[in-house]
Amino acid sequence: MNRVGMRRDDSILTRFVDSVFSLFRLAEFEIMFVLFFIIAYVIFKDLVNSFNDRCTNCVWP
């Protein structure tokens, strides 16, 4: 007997793409959570870097 959702006449590429999409559906929250922190880190790093570059002759250390 075949597993549900898998047919013998599907190509290997179709089965691979289906498995990738099912993994993405399973781990969607975790993927979005990690992407949020990566994007926030890049934006925050860019903001801090632009502030530090502007203030080269400041009194504050």
Q: How far apart are CA 38 and CA 26, in angstroms?
A: 20
The pLDDT assigned to 51 comes to: 66
pLDDT tier, 1 (very low <50, low <70, confident <90, very high otherwise): very low
Instruction: Please tell me what DSSP assigns to residue 30.
Output: H
**Residue 2 near residue 8, CB atoms below 8 Å:** yes
pLDDT classification of 40: cutoffs 50, 70, 90: very high
